[in-house]
Structures are given as structure tokens and as C-alpha cells.
Structure 1
Amino acid sequence: MTSTTSQQELFRFLEDRFACAQACTECARACALRASLVDPDGTENQDLVRRKGILCAEVCDATCRVLSEQNQVDEAGIRAQVEWCRTVCLESARVFEAHPGAEETAEACRACARACTDFLATLS
């Protein structure tokens, strides 16, 4: 492996890591907002949307913090956190898609899941 290849891989890793952290931040904001808009005394479906929004916001926030810590978490820990985030985002997107008015939040979740997938590819 040449040093140029190593540099390119490092740049891609850092770009994907930053893009993933940024997507996590945006998703956390969208999910927190969505959770706050749902009537907590509403139907069972609204309660599911509210709980899923809170969970997704918390997982995305935690993932962003892990990605922002320089070398304090090993690769296995980062991989586990990002995979968990991707799973929660995909589950949340499915819940939000079924809830009128939550389409933008569903898209933020899907975008975050894609960013997580792209970043995980740099870890392989």
C-alpha cells in the first residue's frame, strides 16, 4: 500500500466519520422535534411515535458523541455504536413513514442510516 493510498483512505475515513456525525446530529434534532409535537395523551400509535422519536434522538446523540471522541473508543466500540444507530434509524423511519406529517423525520432517519452504512464501509 502506498502512502498516497493510505492518505486517501484516511481522508475518506475522516470524511465519512464527519458525515455520519453530522447526519446523527440532524436526525437527533428531527426526532426530538417530532417527539415533542406528538400529544403524549394521544393514541397508542402517537405514543409509539413519541417513544421512537425519543429513542432515536438519544441514540443519534450518543453516536455523534462517540464519533467526536478522538481515539477514546476502540474500533469495535465505534462499529457497535454506529450499527446500533443505523438499526434504530431504520426502525424509526418505518414508524415515522406511517405517521402523517412525519415524512421529513423519516427521511432524516433514512439519511442517517445511509451515512452510518457509508461510515461502516470505511471500517471494513
Structure 2
Amino acid sequence: MTPPSSQQELYGYLEDRFACAQACTECARLCALGASVFDPEGTVELERVRRTGIMCAEVCDATCRALTEENDQDEAGLRVQLEWCRTICLQGAQAFDTRPGAEKSAAACRACAVACTEFMATLT
């Protein structure tokens, strides 16, 4: 990954990276919470929403770790992780939209998808 050329660009890059990591963390928390309130012995639809929430929480957690850990992950690998997270978050939002009381989880999924999209735009 090519480092930003100026100190101001570096600060902007780090702020965007941190904002994306925060959105991933919040989404993971709310998806795990949202998945836990559904009865695992419920209908097939409830089980699908629960599984989608768990998957979203796991992907967001992994993305947050990729964004916050000091590692030599290349830009292409980070881009793939962010795109995966964005896609899963959008699926999570759609799944939570079908369940009354899951509005916060759906909103967190959408916010995370937007944060991933915005951070990908900063990558060269």
C-alpha cells in the first residue's frame, strides 16, 4: 500500500480507517445482540435471520481486526476484506429489516457498509 504523501492525507487516511473499524465493531455488537434475541427453535425465517446476524458479527469482527492490527496486509487483501464486509452487512440489514425490533441492528449494518465503501475509496 502506498502511504499518503502528506501529513494531512495521512491523518485523513487514519481517521477513515478508524471510523471504518468503529463501524465494524458497532455492527458486530448489534448483530450478535440481534441474533441472540431470536429463538433458535423458531421458524425457518427466524433461523435464517439469526444465522445472517451471526455471520455479519463474525465478518465485522474480522474486518475490525484487519483494520486495527499492525500487519503487512496488502491493499488488495484489505480491499477484499472490506468488500466482503460490505456485502455481508447489506445482507444483514435486509435480514434484520424483516424482524420487528431489529431496527438498530439493520441501521448498524448499513452504517458499516457505508464506512467500508468510504474507506475503500481512500485506498489507491
Q: Give the TM-score normalised by structure 2.
A: 0.93
Report the Cα offset of residue 72 of structure 1: 2.4
Unaligned runs of 5+ in 2: none
Q: How far off is 1:100 after superposition?
A: 1.0
Q: After superposition, give the CA deviation of every residue in 1:26-85 in whole Å (9 maximum; x if it has no partner).
A: 000000011111000001110011000100000000000000122421111111101100
Over 4 Å off, 4+ runs:
none
Kindly indicate which of the two structures has a greater share of residues assigned to helix: 1
Superposition deviation, residue 12 in structure 1: 1.3
Equivalent residue for 2:61? Answer: 61
The count of aligned residue pairs is 121
- In 1, the alpha carbon distance for the partners of 2:119 and 2:9 equals 12
Aligned mates of 2:71, 2:62 — CA distance in 1: 16
Please report how far the alpha carbon of residue 8 of structure 1 lies from its aligned counterpart in structure 2 after TM superposition. Answer: 2.1
For the residues of structure 2 that align with 1:11 and 1:121, how far apart are their CA atoms? 15
Q: CA RMSD in A?
A: 1.4
1:76-115 deviation line (CA, Å, top 9, x unaligned)? 1111101100010011101111111111100000010111
SS in 1 for 2:6: helix
CA distance in 2, matches of 1:89, 1:72: 25
